[in-house]
Chain A
Amino acid sequence: MDEIIYMNLESSPSFLLFIFFGTVTVVTALSVIFQKNPVVSAVSLVFTFFALAGIYGIMGALFIATMQVLVYAGAIMVLVVFVLMLLSQRAETLSRYRKHPIRLVLLSVFVFGFFFLLYSALTTGVPHSDQMGKGYELTEYSFPIQGTSTVNAKGNVGVVGASTYLDYLLPFEMISILLLVAVLGAVILAKKKSTEVEQTKDNVL
């Protein structure tokens, strides 16, 4: 076990990428909970989500990586930042260390390393692209209820989609009902009561 891991430490570029994305994940997650300014926390959380999407991509879960970027780093973070702006949180000690030299050096090292990794990944291609990742070899999805039917599903997205719509059809429909209820509940909760509006109008007039 140790020999195998040691071999992979030397040979595998995806392990190096995992170390990079894991470090970014931990550092930005710590930044989320230790920053005083909530907007800086939200931006750090976006970086955490992107780094996690990178880890999913290395592991071969391409559908999950895409959904991570779309749902978490896109939709949910837009909601969070919108609410932060709506509540007008005050910024505490925002600009005190902005021009600190150590911070500039760390930032430039980070940016340089990121672009170096990006460049090397682009020039060498996707790591281990000659091997099939785990989950890719499952190109026929067997559906247990009708024993004879098998679905040809190629690639990660196809297999996940076949599993969603064949094995998990009832949870999928329930999720859609739950999202509808959640949206209605959010509108009702965030709406001002009509009596409040009338009262304020009367007070103003």
Chain B
Amino acid sequence: MNPIINGIPVSYILGLAGILFSIGVLGVLIRRNIVIIFMSVELILNSVNLVFVTFSKALSHISGETVVFFVMAIAAAEAAVGLALVIAIFRHKKSTNVDELQSMKW
């Protein structure tokens, strides 16, 4: 495994991906707006993409970049379905605050 990619140490890139993942998880936890929670999930997916590309380059194997392409397609599908759900929920509840979505609580 090559520890340096084009002059960048692999550990630095993995650290950046970890920071990005933590920011995404923090956003999911602390925000109450459902669209911003959605954007935080996109941040998490992007940090995973960064890890895939990093290991693909460090191990000189192209499969990681191919998987990133599939992750992007899944993220696009998730965006379409998730935002349609957001619109449906907003039409039903007149709100995008996840604290007010309590009808499945018992």
Specify whether A and B are partners. yes
Binding site for B on A (CB under 8 A): 1, 4-5, 8, 11-15, 18, 22, 25-26, 29-30, 32-33, 38, 41-42, 45, 48-49, 52, 55-56, 58-61, 63-64, 67-68, 71-72, 75-76, 79-80, 83-84, 86-87, 89, 127-128, 133-135, 137-138, 156, 159-160, 163-164, 167-168, 171-172, 175, 178-179, 181-183, 185-187, 189-190, 192
- Quick one: which of B26, B36, B57, B81 contacts A59, CB cutoff 8 A? B57
How far, in Å, is A2 (CB) from chain B's closest CB?
Answer: 10
Please name 9 pairs of A and B residues whose Cβ atoms are closer than 8 Å in the assembled complex, sorted by A: A18-B8, A22-B12, A33-B24, A68-B49, A76-B42, A163-B66, A181-B77, A182-B76, A190-B87
The A-contacting residues of B in range 1-48, CB under 8 angstroms, are 2-9, 12-13, 16, 19-20, 23-24, 26-27, 30-31, 33, 35-36, 38-40, 42-43, 46
- Quick one: which of B7, B8, B43, B57 contacts A29, CB cutoff 8 A? B43
**Interface residues in B, total, Cβ within 8 A:** 62
Given contacts A48-B46, A167-B66, 16 further A-B contacts (CB under 8 A): A29-B23, A33-B40, A41-B36, A64-B69, A67-B68, A79-B79, A80-B38, A83-B87, A87-B35, A87-B96, A133-B6, A134-B6, A182-B76, A185-B81, A189-B84, A189-B87
